[in-house]
């Protein structure tokens, strides 16, 4: 009977083994253990290992090159190799020489602490890897969101409704703040948008004073020229019509504004250092406290413009139109104003030291309190110019210029015989003998100079 029971039990276990073997081949039945075959060498395994070596051979070669360069450059590789036997015992307590002399309890405690430290280090490394992966995933997701916002803003820029275009410009502005790496493409898009809607037309009969810059274009200009956004990309706004544009506190350093129409534009406190404003039309514009150091204004129309407290040091202003312009307290040190048309301009308290005003038209121009130390006035037209209170004006400067009897000069210079002779020469060339200022002939006689026509 017992023998039969054992046989039945054995049969049941074999049946259970077949069921479990088909469902879960890796599980074993109580009392039975699967036979584990010893892994033998197989060509496929060797090929797989060779493939791994080939796959990572670039990295292995890179590590080898780094070690070789370090050895050639600093020569610390042998020292590092010799230091390994000293470093390993300091990190692993079981490798120390005094380990064999410790008691079993101390060894067990040290081994436990070492295992705990290893587990903690591995956990910290895993956490760092997880954080790095999470950060990378976040960056990719955020970049996708920025790209989606950028695409939607581009679609809305072509809308017919002005308010939709304004919203698109604001969206691009927010992209500039949120994603500085996308500032270049966004700025290029805004520049193209401004150029498309502000190109100068050939109709010269339209009065620019009756037109103004559209709101969407103005917002785009403000966005592109913000001081805290403006980057190093080259901004070219040449040939645009932007009458009445507001560039208050804008960063236009190095920007090209050649042949732009900027009538009555506002450049108050703007940065225009090294900017190119060749042949720009800025009649009635405001440049108060603007930075124009090193700017190029060749052939520009700046008549009736204001440059109070502006910095024009080293600016190039050849053939520029400055009629009725205001330069009170402006810094125009070593600037070039050759052949400038500056009739009736005001340079009160301006700093013109070292400025070049050769062949400039300075009729009716006022220089009260202006500093003219070392200024070049060769052949400058000083008819009715006010130089009475100018500082640093010398006799040689006046003689080199073209003064007339109507030029207001300091008394010490105006009564000098050389100056009087120069005045008579200039007036004789211009045929101004009959329109000479009253009293000048008397002054000439007092210094012993005979005046023709008396």
**Within a domain: residue 398?**
yes
Give helix 162-178 / helix 104-157 axis angle, nearest 10°.
160
Is residue 342 domain-shared with residue 315, that is, in the same domain?
A: no
Distance of alpha carbon 146 from alpha carbon 169, whole angstroms: 15
Distance of alpha carbon 190 from alpha carbon 166, whole angstroms: 12
| pLDDT score recorded for residue 338 | 94
Is residue 209 domain-shared with residue 276, that is, in the same domain?
A: yes
**Within a domain: residue 212?**
yes
Is residue 314 domain-shared with residue 389, that is, in the same domain?
A: no
Nearest CA among 375, 415, 378 for reference residue 400? 378
**Within a domain: residue 52?**
no
Distance of alpha carbon 256 from alpha carbon 234, whole angstroms: 8
Is residue 177 domain-shared with residue 282, that is, in the same domain?
A: yes
**Within a domain: residue 422?**
yes
**Contacts of 447 by beta carbon, 8 Å cutoff, 6+ apart:** 415, 416, 417, 420
- pLDDT by residue for the chain (454 residues), tens only, comes to 555 555 566 566 556 555 555 554 444 444 444 445 455 555 555 555 666 676 677 777 777 777 777 666 666 556 666 656 665 565 666 666 666 667 778 778 877 777 777 778 888 888 888 888 888 888 888 778 878 888 888 888 888 888 888 888 888 888 877 777 777 778 788 888 888 888 765 554 444 444 678 888 898 888 888 755 555 567 888 999 999 999 999 999 989 999 999 999 999 999 999 999 999 999 999 999 999 999 999 999 999 999 999 999 999 999 999 999 999 999 999 999 999 999 999 999 999 999 999 999 999 999 999 999 999 999 999 999 999 999 999 999 999 999 998 899 998 898 888 988 898 888 888 877 556 666 666 666 655 565 555 4
Asked if 347 and 330 count as a contact pair (C-beta separation under 8 A), the reply is: yes
Adjacent-strand bridge partners of 398: none
Is residue 192 domain-shared with residue 279, that is, in the same domain?
A: yes
Asked if 383 and 404 count as a contact pair (C-beta separation under 8 A), the reply is: yes
Nearest CA among 303, 344, 306 for reference residue 328? 306
Is residue 350 domain-shared with residue 445, that is, in the same domain?
A: yes
| pLDDT score recorded for residue 206 | 45
**Within a domain: residue 75?**
no
Nearest CA among 273, 276, 215 for reference residue 246? 215
Is residue 172 domain-shared with residue 320, that is, in the same domain?
A: yes
At 83, list the tokens.
């230091």
| pLDDT score recorded for residue 29 | 44
**Within a domain: residue 135?**
no
Is residue 375 domain-shared with residue 290, that is, in the same domain?
A: no
Q: Whats the size of the chain, residue-wise? A: 454
Is residue 247 domain-shared with residue 309, that is, in the same domain?
A: yes
303, 324, 345: which is the final residue of a domain?
Answer: 324
| pLDDT score recorded for residue 207 | 46
| pLDDT score recorded for residue 392 | 95
Is residue 193 domain-shared with residue 287, that is, in the same domain?
A: yes
Asked if 345 and 365 count as a contact pair (C-beta separation under 8 A), the reply is: yes
CATH number of 300's domain: 2.160.20
Distance of alpha carbon 429 from alpha carbon 442, whole angstroms: 21
Is residue 234 domain-shared with residue 294, that is, in the same domain?
A: yes
Distance of alpha carbon 389 from alpha carbon 362, whole angstroms: 16
Q: Which domain holds residue 296?
A: 158-324
Neighbour-count burial for 34-58, b at 16+ CB within 10 Å, e otherwise = eeeeeeeeeeeeeeeeeeeeeeeee
**Within a domain: residue 198?**
yes
| pLDDT score recorded for residue 168 | 86
Number of domains the chain is built from: 2
324, 359, 390: which is the final residue of a domain?
Answer: 324
**Within a domain: residue 312?**
yes
Distance of alpha carbon 175 from alpha carbon 153, whole angstroms: 10
Asked if 404 and 426 count as a contact pair (C-beta separation under 8 A), the reply is: yes
296, 324, 352: which is the final residue of a domain?
Answer: 324
Is residue 241 domain-shared with residue 320, that is, in the same domain?
A: yes
At 184, list the tokens.
């270049």
| pLDDT score recorded for residue 248 | 92
């Amino acid at each position: 009977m017992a023998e039969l029971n054992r046989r039945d039990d054995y049969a049941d276990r074999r049946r259970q083994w077949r069921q479990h073997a088909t469902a879960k081949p890796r599980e074993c039945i109580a009392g039975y253990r699967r036979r584990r075959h010893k892994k033998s060498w197989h060509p496929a395994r060797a090929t797989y290992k060779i493939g791994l070596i080939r796959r990572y051979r670039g990295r292995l070669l890179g590590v080898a090159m780094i070690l070789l360069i370090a050895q050639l450059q600093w020569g610390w590789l042998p020292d590092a190799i010799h230091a390994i036997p000293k470093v390993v015992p300091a990190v692993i307590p079981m490798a120390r020489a005094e380990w064999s002399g410790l008691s079993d309890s101390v060894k067990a405690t040290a081994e436990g602490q070492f295992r705990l430290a290893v587990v903690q280090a591995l956990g910290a490394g895993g956490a760092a890897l997880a954080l790095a992966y999470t950060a990378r995933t976040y960056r990719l997701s955020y970049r996708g969101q920025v790209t989606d916002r950028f695409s939607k803003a581009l679609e809305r820029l072509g809308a017919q409704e002005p308010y939709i275009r304004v919203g698109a410009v604001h969206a691009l502005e927010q992209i500039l703040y949120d994603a500085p790496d996308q500032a270049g493409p966004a700025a290029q898009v805004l520049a193209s948008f401004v150029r498309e809607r502000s190109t100068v037309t050939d109709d010269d009969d339209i009065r620019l004073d009756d037109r103004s810059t559209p709101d969407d274009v103005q917002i785009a200009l403000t966005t592109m020229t913000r001081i805290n956004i403006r980057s190093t990309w080259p901004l070219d706004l040449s040939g645009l019509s932007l009458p009445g544009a507001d560039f208050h506190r804008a960063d236009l350093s190095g920007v090209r504004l050649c042949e732009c129409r900027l009538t009555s534009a506002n450049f108050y406190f703007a940065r225009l250092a090294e900017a190119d404003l060749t042949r720009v039309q800025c009649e009635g514009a405001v440049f108060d406290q603007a930075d124009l150091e090193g700017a190029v204004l060749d052939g520009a129309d700046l008549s009736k413009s204001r440059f109070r407290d502006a910095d024009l040091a080293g600016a190039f202003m050849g053939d520029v139109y400055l009629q009725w312009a205001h330069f009170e307290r402006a810094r125009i040190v070593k600037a070039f104003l050759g052949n400038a048309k500056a009739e009736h301009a005001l340079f009160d308290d301006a700093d013109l030291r070292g400025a070049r005003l050769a062949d400039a038209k300075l009729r009716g121009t006022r220089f009260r309190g202006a500093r003219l130390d070392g200024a070049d006035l060769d052949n400058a037209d000083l008819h009715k110019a006010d130089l009475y209170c100018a500082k640093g004006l010398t006799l040689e400067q006046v003689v080199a210029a073209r003064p007339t009897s109507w030029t207001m000069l300091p008394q010490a210079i105006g009564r000098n015989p050389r100056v009087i002779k120069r005045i008579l020469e200039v007036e004789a060339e211009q045929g101004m003998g009959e329109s000479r200022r009253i009293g000048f002939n008397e002054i000439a006689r007092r210094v012993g100079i005979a005046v023709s026509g008396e």
